[in-house]
């Protein structure tokens, strides 16, 4: 029987006999390929709940593993190791250690939403990929990404003022990530924007940068959003704490 998706099998688990003769038939090399059996004893039984608790991950339980997301994926077309279907499979099985082996490519999702468009089960795999990246950061498997810094700066401004001012977002984002403010791509982009913008609009944007206006009566809305976010964070933390407690309990056994 052929081995499907051979790329998903770790090379160290594939075995071949250099020289093997069975009943007079030479089955050396690839003809004798087999997968070494292994015992997995480090399941995280809460892994699916943990990923579900992050924004975008709540529909992961609906996946039926059809593979349409991976087939349509922009990044998979360039790098076959980038496989959303496989990662959803690992999460649902609780195979955390296996998942972590791909931590350096999971974040490469470009949020093109092709997978979400084709998914027959409305899993919203693009959201799941985002949830997975945030989960990896939260658990300390990867450092906080630049995109996470950007998100934090963006929503902190929205919470404070009810709107965003692009210049301030970019400036604070560069500060957070220790990047220089004057970068060639940014200078080129700003020059292009200025050329196409009406003069009055530029004046208004300049004034907004200096005065930092707020949306009228924003405090009540900001409080409601903050309360909602705090509740979600509390829920997420309680799911992760449950895992930590179980791991602690298992460690004492």
Residues of this chain that interact with ligand SF4 (CB under 6 A) are 63-69, 72-75, 84-85, 88, 109-115, 119-121, 123, 125-126, 129
Cα separation, 24 vs 22, whole angstroms = 5
Q: Is residue 125 within 8 Å of 133, Cβ to Cβ?
A: no
Quote the CA–CA distance of 155 and 175 in Å, as a whole number.
16
CB of 71 to ligand SF4, least distance (A): 8
CB of 124 to ligand SF4, least distance (A): 8
Instruction: Find the shortest distance in angstroms from Cβ 167 to ligand SF4.
Output: 29
In our burial notation (b when 16+ CB lie closer than 10 A, e otherwise), range 79-94 reads: eeebbbbbbbbbbeeb
Burial grade of 187 (CB within 10 A; 0-12, 13-18, 19 or more) = exposed
Least spacing, CB of residue 201 vs ligand SF4, in Å: 33
Whichever of 67 and 162 has its CB closer to ligand SF4, that residue is 67
DSSP, collapsed to helix, strand or coil, labels residue 15 as: strand
Which is nearer to ligand SF4, 124 or 157 (by Cβ)?
124
Residue number, 54 or 157, with CB nearest to ligand SF4: 54
Q: Which is closer to ligand SF4, CB of 129 or CB of 136?
A: 129
């Amino acid at each position: 029987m052929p081995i499907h998706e051979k790329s998903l099998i770790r090379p160290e688990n594939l075995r071949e006999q250099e020289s093997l003769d069975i009943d007079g038939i030479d089955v050396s090399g690839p003809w004798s390929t087999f997968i070494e059996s292994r015992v997995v004893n480090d399941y995280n039984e809460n892994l699916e709940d943990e990923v579900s608790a992050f924004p975008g991950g709540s529909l992961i339980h609906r996946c039926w593993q059809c593979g349409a997301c991976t087939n349509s994926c922009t990044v998979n077309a360039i790098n076959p190791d980038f496989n959303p279907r496989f990662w959803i499979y690992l999460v649902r099985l609780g195979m955390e250690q296996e998942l972590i082996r791909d931590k350096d490519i999971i974040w490469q999702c470009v949020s093109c939403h092709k997978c979400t468009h084709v998914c027959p089960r409305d899993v919203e795999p693009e959201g799941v990929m985002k949830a997975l990246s945030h989960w990896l950061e939260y658990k300390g498997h990867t450092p906080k990404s630049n995109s996470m810094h950007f998100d934090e700066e963006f929503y902190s401004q929205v919470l404070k003022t009810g709107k965003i001012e692009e210049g301030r977002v970019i400036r604070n984002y560069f500060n957070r990530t220790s990047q220089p403010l004057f970068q060639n791509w940014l200078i080129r982009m700003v020059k292009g924007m200025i050329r196409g913008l009406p003069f009055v609009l530029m004046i208004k944007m300049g004034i907004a940068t200096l005065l930092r206006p707020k949306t009228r009566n924003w405090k009540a809305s900001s409080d409601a959003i903050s309360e909602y976010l705090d509740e979600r964070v509390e829920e997420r933390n309680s799911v992760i704490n449950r895992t930590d407690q179980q791991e602690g309990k298992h460690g004492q056994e």
